Chain A
Amino acid sequence: MSKILVIAEHDGEKLNSSTARAVSCAAAIGGDIDIAVFAADGKAVCEAAAKLKGVKKVLRVARAENAKPLAAVLAPQVAKLAAGYSHVLAPSTTFGKDVLPRAAALLGVPQVSDVMKVKDPLTFERPIYAGNAIVTVKAPEKPCVVATVRTASWAGCGEGGSAAIEDASTDAALPSHSRYLELKRDKTDRPDLQSAPRVVSGGRGVGSKENFAIVYKLADRLGAAVGASRAAVDAGFVPNDLQVGQTGKIIAPDLYIAIGISGAIQHLTGIKDARTIVAINKDPDAPIFQVADLGLVGDLFQILPELEKALEKR
C-alpha cells in the first residue's frame, strides 16, 4: 500500500487551499496520507492541515530557517523526510514548482509535473505543449514517486478529519547561500485568484491601467477575484500575480468572465477547467468565443457598466 507525504503550502499562518487539492490527488493514489508542514512555528497551519479529510498524520517540522519558503533550505529536509514514503506530492504552485524538483534531484528521481489524473499509483496523466496534448507517464517505483499536482484538476479534499500532529525533525544540513529578503504584494481584500469560485479577467482590450478600474468594479460586484491575460500584465495594466495562463496561474473557478481577452492558446490553457466561461469582446471572431459558454460581442466600456447595474438589481 502507498504511503504518501504531501508538502503543505502556507504563509506561516494560514494553510493554502492548494494543499487540500494535493491531498485529493493523494487520495486518488490511495494509501496513508501524511502532511508535512515546514515552518518557524506552524502550529496554526498544522491544526488546519489536521482537519483535512483523509489525512492520517501531520508532521510539524519547526525551525527558524523554515520561516520563509526557500527551496534550497526546504528541499534537503523534504528529501530526508521522504524516507519510508512511496510518494511525495506538492501542489503545482510557484511554491511546489520551486521546492519539489530540487527535492526530487536530491532523491535521484525524475519528477512528474502537474498531475491531472491518477491511473494507478505509478501512472499519471499530465499536460504538455500548453495542454495541447496529454501524456500518460509511468514513474519508477523506487526509491519513491515525486510529483506536483495540477491544482485546477483537483477539488479540495474537504474537512472532517482529525489527524494527529507530531513534531518531526531531520538532520539535513541547511545552506546559508540563499537568503529571503521580502515579499512585495498589493494589499487586497479580494478573494485569492488561485482558489476563488468567481474570476473576472481583463486583457489587452481593456486598454490601460486606469481602465482596469471597471474590471475591478465588476469583480467586486460579483465578489470575484481579478485576473488578467499575459498581454495585460506585459503592458503594465496589472501586477504579475494576476496572470492566468500556461505560464501564469492555472485556475478552475465556477465562473470565469473574460473581458477584452482574445483567447490565445496560452491563456485558454489556464481556464479550460472553469465551469462556466463568459467572454465579452468587440471582435466576434476572437478565439475566446470558441470555448466560451456564453459570449457577448460589443464594446466592453458600454457592456460592463450595464452588466454591473443588471447584477445590482438582482
Chain B
Amino acid sequence: MKILVGMKRVVDFNVRIQVKKDGSGVELAGVKLGLNPFDEIALEEALRIREKGMQAEVIALSIGPADVQQQLRTALAMGADRAVLVETADAVQPLMAARILLEMAKRENADLVILGKQAIDDDCNQTGQMLAALWDRPQATFASAVELKDKTLKVTREVDAGLEVIEVDLPAVVTTDLRLNTPRFVKMPDIMKAKSKPLATVKLAELNVAAAPALEAVSYAAPVPRKGGHKVESVQALVKELHDRGVLS
C-alpha cells in the first residue's frame, strides 16, 4: 500500500511569535522553523504501519518554498521512503492545500493519507477534512489509535465527549491527535542515509490544480494580554478574596 503523509513547515512550537508593528503580519524573519508537530506524529504512524510488516511505501509530501527540502530531509531521516515537494512561494490555505493533496493522492494512487489535525501556525484544523470531501473518501479525524485490517481502518478519535471509535474503508484520510504516538528521534546515521533517498520537486504551476478561493487577511494584531493579579499568603486569604469577588456565591 501507499501512504502519503503531509508535512507542513511551521514556526517552531517553542517560539513565541510577535505581530509586526504595522499589523501586516507575523514576524517570521530569523525565526526557527520546523515540522508541524502533528505532522511528525502522522509520519511516525505511517512508519509504524510499515514496520508492522505491512508492504507499504511511505511518501512525505510538503507544499512550500524550495528550502522546505530541508524539512523533507528530516522526514526522510525519520524513515520516509521518498519525499515530494510541491514548490510554491505563495502561502497556501487549507482548501488549496486539499486540492493539491487530492491531485498528489491521485497521482500516487495513495491508499491512505495521514495528516496532522491542525498546523500550529494557522490553527485551522481543516485540510484533512477538505481533502476527504474532495476525494469523496472517509475521514477519521483527531486519531489517537489506528488499527489496520485488510482494507479497513479502525480508528479511535479524541472527541469532546470521550473516545469515539469508527471504522472506515480505504482509501481514507486520517488526521492525528497528540496521543497517537511519540515520534522517534532522528539518529546521525539516518541523516546520512536520508541524503541518498529520492526527493522530487514539482512546481505547483505544473500541477493541474485550479486556484482555490481564499480568505483575505486584512490585518494582524497582538491579543489583549490578560493582566495577572497578585499572590495571596494563605488559604484563608484566598477564600476571602474569592468571596469578595463574588465568585463563590
> Which residues of A are at the interface with B, using a C-beta cutoff of 8 A?
11, 70-72, 75, 93-95, 97-106, 108-114, 123, 127-140, 175, 177-186, 194, 222, 230, 233-234, 239-241, 246-247, 249, 254-255, 265, 268, 272, 275-278, 284, 289-297, 303, 306-307, 310-311, 314
Asked if A102 contacts B132 (CB within 8 A), the reply is yes
Asked if B136 contacts A175 (CB within 8 A), the reply is yes
Question: What are the 3 closest A-B residue pairs judged by CB atoms, nearest first?
Answer: A185-B162, A293-B229, A101-B129
How many angstroms from the CA of A134 to the CA of B216 in the assembled complex? 14
B111 at the interface (CB under 8 A from A): no
Q: Write out the residue numbers on chain B whose beta carbons fall within 8 Å of the beta carbon of A123.
A: 218
Asked if A70 contacts B166 (CB within 8 A), the reply is yes
Chain A interface main SS type: mixed
Find residues 139-182 in chain B having any chain A CB closer than 8 Å to their own CB: 139-142, 144, 154, 157-169, 172, 177-179
The 8 A CB mask of B90-114 against A (1 = contact, 0 = none) is: 0001110010000000000000000
A240-B144 in contact given A98-B129, A137-B215, A183-B164 (Cβ < 8 Å)? yes
A110-B94 in contact given A102-B133, A180-B166, A185-B163 (Cβ < 8 Å)? yes
**9 pairs, A vs B, C-beta closer than 8 Å:** A72-B139, A97-B125, A105-B129, A105-B131, A133-B19, A137-B215, A180-B166, A183-B161, A284-B231
Asked if B123 contacts A307 (CB within 8 A), the reply is no
B62 at the interface (CB under 8 A from A): no
Chain B interface main SS type: mixed
* Least distance between B160 CB and chain A CB atoms (Å): 5
B121 at the interface (CB under 8 A from A): yes
* Least distance between B137 CB and chain A CB atoms (Å): 7
Residue from the set A70, A103, A132, A284 with the largest chain B CB neighbour count within 10 Å: A132
Q: Write out the residue numbers on chain B whose beta carbons fall within 8 Å of the beta carbon of A95.
A: 159-160
* Least distance between B210 CB and chain A CB atoms (Å): 10
How many angstroms from the CA of A233 to the CA of B144 in the assembled complex? 13
How many angstroms from the CA of A184 to the CA of B247 in the assembled complex? 34
A177-B138 in contact given A104-B95, A132-B17, A294-B230 (Cβ < 8 Å)? yes
* Least distance between A187 CB and chain B CB atoms (Å): 10
Chain B's closest residue to A181 (CB) is B165
Q: Write out the residue numbers on chain B whose beta carbons fall within 8 Å of the beta carbon of A186.
A: 162
A110-B214 in contact given A241-B158, A241-B160, A247-B177 (Cβ < 8 Å)? yes
* Least distance between A93 CB and chain B CB atoms (Å): 5
Chain B's closest residue to A253 (CB) is B247
A230-B215 in contact given A294-B238, A306-B235 (Cβ < 8 Å)? no
User: Which among A112, A137, A241 is the interface contact of B218 at CB below 8 angstroms?
Assistant: A137
New A-B contacts (5) at CB < 8 Å, excluding given A133-B17, A184-B162: A104-B130, A105-B129, A133-B221, A134-B223, A307-B239
A175-B138 in contact given A95-B159, A102-B133 (Cβ < 8 Å)? yes
How many angstroms from the CA of A291 to the CA of B226 in the assembled complex? 6
A178-B166 in contact given A94-B159, A132-B17 (Cβ < 8 Å)? yes
B16 at the interface (CB under 8 A from A): yes
Chain B's closest residue to A293 (CB) is B229
B118 at the interface (CB under 8 A from A): yes
Q: Write out the residue numbers on chain A whose beta carbons fall within 8 Å of the beta carbon of B118.
A: 247
* Least distance between A137 CB and chain B CB atoms (Å): 4
Asked if A129 contacts B26 (CB within 8 A), the reply is yes
Asked if A135 contacts B126 (CB within 8 A), the reply is no
Q: Write out the residue numbers on chain B whose beta carbons fall within 8 Å of the beta carbon of A306.
A: 235
Asked if A111 contacts B126 (CB within 8 A), the reply is yes
Q: Write out the residue numbers on chain B whose beta carbons fall within 8 Å of the beta carbon of A230.
A: 178
User: Which among B137, B139, B158 is the interface contact of A240 at CB below 8 angstroms?
Assistant: B158
Asked if A295 contacts B232 (CB within 8 A), the reply is yes
Q: Write out the residue numbers on chain A whose beta carbons fall within 8 Å of the beta carbon of B130.
A: 101-102, 104-105
Asked if B229 contacts A294 (CB within 8 A), the reply is yes
Q: Write out the residue numbers on chain B whose beta carbons fall within 8 Å of the beta carbon of A178.
A: 138-140, 166-169
Q: Write out the residue numbers on chain B whose beta carbons fall within 8 Å of the beta carbon of A71.
A: 129, 132, 139, 141
A295-B142 in contact given A123-B218, A240-B163, A241-B158 (Cβ < 8 Å)? no
